[in-house]
Amino acid sequence: MFHLRALPRPLLRLTLQQLNPAHTRSFASTARRLSLPPTQLPAAPLVAPTSDIAPPPAWAVKIPLSARWIHPYMSLARMDKPIGTWLLYWPCAWSITMAAYSSAMPLGACAWNLALFGTGALVMRGAGCTINDMWDRDIDKKVERTKSRPLASGEISQFQALSFLGLQLSVGLGVLTQLNLYSIALGASSLSLVVLYPLMKRITYWPQFVLGMAFNWGALLGSSAVLGVCNWTVALPLYIGSIAWTIVYDTIYAHQDKVDDVSAGVKSTALLFGSATKPILTGFSASFISLLALAGHLNAQGVPFYLISVGGAVAHLMNQLRTVDLESRASCWKAFASNRDLGAIVWGGIAVDYAVAASGVMA
């Protein structure tokens, strides 16, 4: 049987605050039996939690009560919003599969690399979010969308976040050490970009460019993981094109917060481009498509790549920029999140090419 006494006191206090106010007397009695000071009792009548700590989100309520203490850490790593993990993963998957295609890598080895990089993307995206929130704690308090984040709301301390970051980076290092030495060195060299990105929004209107450099490092790392060294001829245009793609989707994302960002002193391409955002993003989209096609040409990709990957990306980006309403947060989020599907489309064409080539080798 689960007992309230087993809960840590901060969680016990939060639990009592969130119970039905109609039973305040019984809560007070329970609290006295548990020897809680009067200041830790919920107010009567209970309208809202007396603490300024944000209540657990809806997804956290599904966690068993005894394990609910983990919810701020899951929130810190954005485990409830996997879109960022997908956006970090897709350039890795493109690069791995293109390298596997050019080197006739066995399917099992390719699948292993895809799974390994998927794990790394999940862990390192979470670490990046932790670093971002540690830098931006005071800024996040001023932005409506971010003020309930665990650090901004005071739900966890900087030291707790730092300890959690140490755990995340340790797991990430464990994933990285599964690769060859060249890839270990290449992967470790990206950490400075991850740390510096949150500072860029304070000093430049181009933080999305720095984010793109960090977020698409997998386009280089995937190549070296498969081939032993990075095939710069193919990986570099793929990497630069992916940076252009990041500028597209993260500028749309930044339009959600443009009003709050002005008052908070935060810079972004959304503020820089202003009313010219759509024409400028059309240019970046064209750059992404052109460099993607160039990388495919240099890798001797087949017809499925051009029909599915390139053609599909063109159609998706055209529709995305045509339909997004940059004055609507909901529309911006929908367009931003749809880039998960764009990444899948691009990978789909590469994967078909690889599967066709592999079936020919096996035959």
Q: Which two tokens stand for residue 278?
A: 């759509």
pLDDT value, residue 10: 43
Tell me, rounded to whole angstroms, the distance of Cα 220 from its chain centroid: 19
The answer for residues whose C-beta is within 8 angstroms of residue 28's C-beta and 6 or more apart is 41, 44
Tell me, rounded to whole angstroms, the distance of Cα 247 from its chain centroid: 15
- 8 Å CB contact between 86 and 93: no
Q: Provide, for the chain, the percentages of residues in helix, strand and coil under a 3-state DSSP scheme, each rounded to the nearest 5.
A: 75, 0, 25
Element (H, E) at 35: none
**How do residues 292-333 score in pLDDT, each as one tens digit?**
999 999 999 999 999 999 999 999 999 999 999 999 999 999
Better-predicted residue by pLDDT, 12 or 129: 129
Euclidean distance between CA atoms 354 and 261, whole angstroms: 44
How confident is the model over 4-10, as a mean pLDDT?
44
pLDDT beyond 70 at 11: no
| Sequential DSSP letters for 198-234 | HHHHHH-S-HHHHHHHHHTTHHHHHHHHHHSS--HHH
How confident is the model over 60-82, as a mean pLDDT?
67
**How do residues 254-297 score in pLDDT, each as one tens digit?**
999 888 778 778 889 999 999 999 999 999 999 999 999 999 99
Euclidean distance between CA atoms 280 and 259, whole angstroms: 20
Number of alpha carbons in the 13 Å side-chain half-sphere of residue 37: 4
Euclidean distance between CA atoms 39 and 43, whole angstroms: 9
pTM of the model: 0.77
**How do residues 324-357 score in pLDDT, each as one tens digit?**
999 999 999 999 999 999 999 999 999 999 999 8
